[in-house]
Structures are given as C-alpha cells and as structure tokens.
C-alpha cells in the first residue's frame, strides 16, 4: 500500500517500520473520512510538511543566529533569520522569537521573562474561555504564581472589562494576560492596554487561537498594544505544531533569554524552518482571503446550529470558532461529542460560561472552521454540516449515526484534506 506523504520517502518507512507506516496511513484516512471541526487544528501545506520532514531535525543549535553554542550552524542560521524577519514583517513587530516548542512553552517563557514565582497576574478564567497556562491550578502557572481571574459578564457572555479593571486596581498584578481557547468575540486590546498602564502591569496577549486571523488581516492585531504576544503556529496560522513570541524591542533581550537558556535547550530547527515557510504563506493574498473565509464560514456554521436549536454563547462569533450551549436540546457536551464522533464529525465538548456541568461533561460544544476552510468548503457546506451535526447530536440511534457518517463521507470526499498522489 502506498500514499502521498509529503516531504518523505514513504516506501522507505513502509519497509523498515510497517507498524508506524500503518499509523500514518490510518491517520490520513481518518482526516479524509470526517469533518474536522476542532477549532485549534488545521491542515498544513505540503511545503510545511516537507520542512518538518527534513534533515534540519538533526542539528543542535542552542543559542540564536550568529551566537550559537555548536559549530555547523551556518545553514540553520539562515532559516531562523529568514523566519524572524518574516514574522517581524507580517505582524509589524519589533522582535520575534521562533524557538518556543509550543504555545505552553511560549507562555512559560513569557512568565519567566516578566515574573518571579509567587508574583500576581490577572488572566481569563479557564471555565470562561481562558487557558490552562493562564493560572489553572494543575498548571505551573497556577502552582508557582498567584493568578487572579477575570471572566465574562453573565448577560453578554463577553469579557467583563469593568471586573478586569476592578481586579487590576485591587491586586496590582505584574502582568495582565488576554486571550484564551474559547473566546468567540474580538478582544478590546486598547481597553486592556489602558488598564495595564493604569496599574503598571505588563500586557501579554496569548493570541494562539486568533493570530492566523490577524496574519490574514481579517481581525485587528494586538501587536501595537501588547508588550508581548505569544501564540501557537498550528491553528488558523496553518503552520507546524509549535509556538512563537513577538514583542516590543525593549523586551527583546528578556524574551530571548527566557526562551533559551531559561526554559528550553536546543531549538527544533526543522520546525523553525517550517514556521518560516508558513509565515511566507501567510503573507499572500490567497491566505488573506482564506482568513476572511474562515470567519464567514464560522458565522454560517453558527447560524445553522442556532437553527438546529442550539444557543450560541454571546449570540454568535467574530472569529473562527463558536461555543454552542446544548441545554435547550437536553444533550450534554460529552454526549454530543460522542454522537458526532460516531457520525464522522470531529469536535470537542466545551464548558460554557457559568456551566452547571463539570468540565468532564459540560453543557456545550466548540466548533471551528480552520480545517474545513482549508479544504475549500464554503457557506453551503457549512449549512450542510450544521444540519448533519443537528441530526447526530439529537439522536442516540447507532443507525442514524451510521447514516450521517455516510453523508459526511460523501461531503468530504469532494474536498479532500490531502489529495491522493
Ligand atoms: N488545546 C488548545 C485548544 O484546543 O484550544 C489550546 O491549547
């Protein structure tokens, strides 16, 4: 058996390790057979996969271009320098660090650059759409630092800026963190900058979810306002699974020292090169159209789900993701995720603000359109997907799930994740 595996000689792997070759094929089949609606995932380009599968993986390059602790770095220096320049240009940033291994690693470095253990910071509460690394008790950020959490207002379900300001005045945090993993609306960066200035805090935006929309000029950028912006590179941005930081020049040395040597050792130069490739792709008119289409599709999908009887948290979305409250149709997020999974629709259960259910059950689901938009789907397909989700979620019949799954397969076959070679 053979298939297209970009950037590598797959026949070599098939002969030396058929078990792992089989896993690669199975995952490709899984991607091609379902609708992928995880808001934090996407399909990288063949060019990104080629850089990831390259011999740059072999190189130790502790340090930064021109200042390494190993010989033989003159070639990888070129990749990292190109990537840094592309990031600065794309985001209009003074400084960029491409070495964080992930979004969590990037955030550890930001914490290390600006705070000491025990220091107080303000961030969005996880159950209201924040992130584990923003002070959850199970994370280093909650164990080693003193988090104070703001949330969303009960009526609007949007960030409660009055609460944020009051908490900032009361606790005088070292840092204010904006961003999260389930925020469907745009964040008022100017308001947070003003609050940070009033209390003398560093403003850190964790833009992991929406930085791709910023790169595509589809939504406003946090870069002019924030001291530092951290993000992952594999969501809407459509790069390799990794992280990145951009910041003001005055923080450049602190950020670089915090990434290496404080928090990380050798950078993964194949991933750094893949990030550079993705950044070049993001600077194209095609990508800018993609970013806008992601939002149009998310809005169409959300509207379709509202018509299926689900309630959109905040009433809709300005971004690539939506949170749907299922209490009105009497299904938990856990059951909805499982029923969709049985129907070839991949999404995740998600707490909604003020959720009466525990995090392992939840009252909601989160959907996102980065992957389906990369596949070339549009508003008509979003309407079809909303109807398929409605049927899957509202039924506990295995035969109905099998019927929906067959229809899902018919739909996605017209929009292959990775065309067969
Ligand atoms: N786990 C990511 C998400 O799904 O949003 C955030 O880190």
Identify the CATH number of the domain in which residue 196 sits: 3.40.640.10
Annotated active-site residue 235? The verdict is: yes
d(CA 21, CA 19): 5
198 plus 339 within the same structural domain: no
How is residue 33 written in tokens?
């057979």
Q: How confident is the model over 277-296, as a mean pLDDT?
A: 98
Task: Determine whether the shortest distance from the Cβ of 40 to ligand 1 is under 6 A.
Answer: yes
In a domain, 389, yes or no: yes
Residue 391 has pLDDT above 60, yes or no: yes
In a domain, 130, yes or no: yes
- Residue to mutate, 103, 180, 181, 320, ligand 1, most ligand atoms under 8 Å from C-beta: 181
- Burial code (b: 16+ CB inside 10 Å, e: under 16) for 60-93 equals bbbbbbeebeeeebeebbebbebbbebbeebbeb
Q: Can you say how many angstroms the Cα of residue 128 is from the centroid of all Cα atoms in its chain? A: 17
80 plus 225 within the same structural domain: yes
Q: Which long-range contacts (CB under 8 A, 24 or more apart) does 401-408 make?
A: 401/339, 401/342, 401/343, 402/342, 402/343, 404/343, 404/344, 404/345, 405/342, 405/343, 405/344, 408/33, 408/34, 408/35, 408/343, 408/344, 408/345
Last residue of a domain, which of 226, 252, 282? 282
Average confidence score pLDDT of the chain? 96
Task: Determine whether the shortest distance from the Cβ of 103 to ligand 1 is under 6 A.
Answer: yes
Annotated active-site residue 241? The verdict is: yes
Is the separation of the CB atoms in 168 and 148 below 8 Å?
A: no
In a domain, 177, yes or no: yes
d(CA 400, CA 250): 59
Residue of 228, 247, 245, 253 whose CA lies nearest to 177:
228
d(CA 366, CA 333): 9
Q: Which helix (H) or strand (E) holds 121?
A: strand 120-124
277 plus 327 within the same structural domain: no
In this structure, the residue with its CA closest to atom 3 of ligand 1 is 40
Closest ligand 1 atom, residue 181 Cα: 5
Q: How many residues does the chain have?
A: 421
In this structure, the residue with its CA closest to atom 6 of ligand 1 is 181
d(CA 103, CA 101): 7
Last residue of a domain, which of 282, 302, 326? 282
In this structure, the residue with its CA closest to atom 5 of ligand 1 is 181
257 plus 370 within the same structural domain: no
- Residue to mutate, 131, 184, 366, 369, ligand 1, most ligand atoms under 8 Å from C-beta: 131
113 plus 188 within the same structural domain: yes
Q: Which of 80, 158, 160, 206 is catalytic?
A: 206
pLDDT band at 2 (very low <50, low <70, confident <90, very high): very low
The CATH number linked to 313 is 3.90.1150.10
Domain that holds residue 149: 55-282
CA 208 – ligand 1 centroid, Å? 8
Burial (Cβ within 10 Å: 0-12, 13-18, ≥19) of residue 420: exposed
Q: What is the pLDDT of residues 398-417, one digit of tens each?
A: 999 999 999 999 999 999 88
In this structure, the residue with its CA closest to atom 4 of ligand 1 is 40
CA 3 – ligand 1 centroid, Å? 30
218 plus 302 within the same structural domain: no
Strands in 138-201 per DSSP E: 146-150, 175-178
133 plus 269 within the same structural domain: yes
Q: Which residues contact 3 (CB under 8 A, 6 or more apart)?
A: 10, 25, 28, 420, 421
CA 159 – ligand 1 centroid, Å? 19
Is the separation of the CB atoms in 69 and 26 below 8 Å?
A: no
Task: Determine whether the shortest distance from the Cβ of 129 to ligand 1 is under 6 A.
Answer: no
CA 412 – ligand 1 centroid, Å? 24
pLDDT at 7: 52
d(CA 232, CA 180): 12
pLDDT at 417: 85
Count the domains in the chain. 2
Q: What is the pLDDT of residues 323-366, one digit of tens each?
A: 999 999 999 999 999 999 999 999 999 999 999 999 999 999 99
198 plus 155 within the same structural domain: yes
Task: Determine whether the shortest distance from the Cβ of 107 to ligand 1 is under 6 A.
Answer: no
In a domain, 315, yes or no: yes
Let me know how many helices (H) and strands (E) the chain has, helices first. 16, 15
In a domain, 15, yes or no: no
pLDDT at 271: 98
In a domain, 323, yes or no: yes
d(CA 272, CA 80): 6
Q: What is the pLDDT of residues 41-62, one digit of tens each?
A: 999 999 999 999 999 999 999 9
Task: Determine whether the shortest distance from the Cβ of 369 to ligand 1 is under 6 A.
Answer: no
Annotated active-site residue 217? The verdict is: no
How is residue 385 written in tokens?
């997907």
CA 304 – ligand 1 centroid, Å? 24
Closest ligand 1 atom, residue 133 Cα: 7
Annotated active-site residue 232? The verdict is: yes
204 plus 306 within the same structural domain: no
155 plus 90 within the same structural domain: yes
Q: What is the pLDDT of residues 111-136, one digit of tens each?
A: 999 999 999 999 999 999 999 999 99
pLDDT band at 3 (very low <50, low <70, confident <90, very high): low
Alpha carbon of 211 to those of 26, 44, 66, 125: distances in Å? 30, 15, 29, 20
Q: How confident is the model over 224-253, as a mean pLDDT?
A: 98
Q: Which of 235, 275, 349, 394 is catalytic?
A: 235
In a domain, 48, yes or no: no
Q: Which of 165, 217, 241, 292 is catalytic?
A: 241
Last residue of a domain, which of 282, 316, 341? 282
CA 180 – ligand 1 centroid, Å? 8
pLDDT band at 418 (very low <50, low <70, confident <90, very high): confident
Task: Determine whether the shortest distance from the Cβ of 133 to ligand 1 is under 6 A.
Answer: no
Q: What is the pLDDT of residues 57-110, one digit of tens each?
A: 999 999 999 999 999 999 999 999 999 999 999 999 999 999 999 999 999 999
Q: How confident is the model over 221-245, as a mean pLDDT?
A: 98
pLDDT at 9: 73
Q: What is the pLDDT of residues 10-38, one digit of tens each?
A: 888 999 999 999 999 999 999 999 999 99
Task: Determine whether the shortest distance from the Cβ of 181 to ligand 1 is under 6 A.
Answer: yes
129 plus 263 within the same structural domain: yes
CA 361 – ligand 1 centroid, Å? 17
How is residue 156 written in tokens?
């609007």
In a domain, 361, yes or no: yes
76 plus 102 within the same structural domain: yes
In this structure, the residue with its CA closest to atom 1 of ligand 1 is 40
Q: How confident is the model over 6-11, as a mean pLDDT?
A: 68
């Amino acid at each position: 058996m053979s298939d297209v595996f970009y950037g590598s000689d797959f026949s070599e792997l098939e002969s030396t390790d058929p078990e792992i070759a089989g896993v690669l094929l199975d995952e490709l089949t899984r991607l091609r057979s379902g609708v992928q609606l995880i808001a934090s995932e996407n399909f990288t380009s063949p060019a990104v996969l080629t850089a990831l599968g390259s011999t740059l993986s072999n190189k130790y390059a502790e340090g930064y271009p021109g200042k390494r602790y190993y010989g033989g770095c003159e070639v990888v220096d070129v990749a990292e320098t190109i990537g840094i320049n592309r990031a600065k240009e794309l985001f209009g940033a003074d400084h960029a660090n491409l070495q964080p291994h992930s979004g969590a690693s990037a955030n550890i470095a930001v914490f290390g650059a600006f705070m000491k253990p025990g220091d107080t910071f303000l961030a969005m509460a996880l159950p209201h759409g924040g992130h584990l690394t923003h002070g959850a008790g199970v994370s280093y950020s909650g164990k080693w630092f003193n988090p104070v959490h703001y949330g969303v207002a009960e009526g609007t379900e949007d960030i409660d800026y009055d609460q944020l300001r009051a908490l900032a005045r009361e606790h005088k945090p070292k840092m204010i963190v904006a961003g999260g993993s389930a925020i469907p609306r745009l964040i008022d960066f100017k308001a947070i900058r003003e609050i940070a200035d009033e209390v003398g805090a560093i403003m850190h935006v964790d833009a992991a979810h929406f930085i791709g929309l910023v790169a595509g000029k589809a939504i406003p950028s946090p870069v002019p306002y924030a001291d530092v912006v951290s993000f992952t590179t594999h969501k809407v941005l459509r790069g390799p699974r990794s992280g990145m930081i951009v910041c003001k020049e005055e923080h450049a040395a602190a950020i670089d020292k915090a990434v290496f040597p404080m928090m990380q050792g050798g950078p993964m130069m194949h991933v750094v090169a893949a990030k550079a490739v993705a950044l070049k792709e993001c600077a194209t008119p095609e990508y800018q159209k993609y970013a806008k289409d992601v939002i149009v599709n998310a809005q169409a999908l959300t509207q379709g789900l509202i018509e299926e009887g689900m309630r959109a948290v905040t009433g809709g979305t300005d971004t690539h993701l939506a949170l749907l409250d299922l209490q009105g149709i009497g299904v938990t997020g856990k059951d909805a995720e499982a029923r969709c999974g049985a129907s070839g629709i991949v999404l995740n259960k998600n707490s909604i603000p003020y959720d009466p259910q525990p995090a392992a059950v939840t009252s909601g689901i989160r959907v996102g359109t980065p992957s389906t938009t990369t596949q070339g789907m549009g508003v008509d397909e979003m309407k079809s997907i909303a109807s398929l989700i409605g049927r899957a979620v509202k039924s506990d019949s295995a035969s109905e799930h099998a019927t929906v799954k067959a229809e899902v397969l018919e739909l996605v076959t017209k929009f292959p994740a990775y065309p067969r070679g």
